[in-house]
């Protein structure tokens, strides 16, 4: 199959239907036209992996855009700090999926579904592991959190999300931290 055969198909669905009927020869050497057929009128990209055990799956189109990405807010509750206090932390993560270079890794780590659940688990793990080495005062105070906590936490989140979910992180932000104990204070 050449790129011309794909471009003459009116849509990716027609292309896939023609492939199923045997009307088009097999694709070799092309990563299924960059692995993605994006419909401009839709918010969804339909992806056909080059692996035989996965079928066509849908993924939000903005999750594939390196400039826009997907923003996800992770609420991590009852995080134990170094001093024994419990803290609730809300973390916003903006990420994208690079299907052109990481499709096979992404499928082996997350499967043919959006990675939201796995991203949440990894962010929760990172928050808990870094909070175990910081006092609650550092996590609760926005200025001290920015100075002593966020830099290393962000680097750890980025590398862990790339390794465990095959997603590339655009930004990590701690939106809110609140002490769980009664009478505690909240700082934003």
* Positions of E strands within 81-149: 86-96
Residue 61's contacts (CB-CB under 8 Å, 6 or more residues apart) are 38, 42, 43, 44, 45
| Confidence (pTM) | 0.69
Mean pLDDT for the chain? Answer: 76
> Got the DSSP string for 141-157?
SHHHHHHHTHHHHHHHH
What percent of the chain is predicted at pLDDT more than 90? 47
Strand pairing partners for 88?
Answer: 178
Q: Summarize pLDDT for 145-176 with one digit per residue, the tens.
A: 999 999 999 999 999 999 999 999 999 999 99
């Amino acid at each position: 199959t050449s790129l011309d055969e794909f471009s003459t198909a009116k849509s990716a669905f027609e292309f896939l239907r023609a492939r199923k009927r045997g009307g088009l020869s097999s694709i070799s050497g092309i990563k299924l036209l960059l692995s993605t057929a994006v419909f401009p009128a839709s918010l969804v990209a339909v992806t056909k992996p080059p692996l035989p055990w996965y079928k066509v799956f849908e993924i939000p189109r903005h999750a594939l855009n390196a400039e826009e990405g997907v923003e996800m807010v992770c609420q991590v509750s009852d995080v134990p700090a170094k001093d024994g206090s419990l803290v609730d932390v809300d973390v916003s993560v903006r990420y994208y999926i690079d299907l052109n270079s990481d499709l096979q890794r992404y499928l082996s780590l997350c499967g043919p579904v959006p990675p939201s659940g796995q991203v949440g688990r990894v962010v929760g793990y990172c928050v808990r592991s870094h909070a175990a080495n910081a006092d609650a005062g550092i996590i609760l105070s926005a200025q001290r959190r920015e100075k002593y906590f966020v830099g290393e936490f962000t680097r750890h989140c980025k590398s862990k999300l790339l390794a465990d979910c095959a997603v590339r992180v655009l930004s990590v932000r701690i939106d809110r931290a609140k002490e769980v104990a009664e009478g505690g204070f909240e700082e934003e």
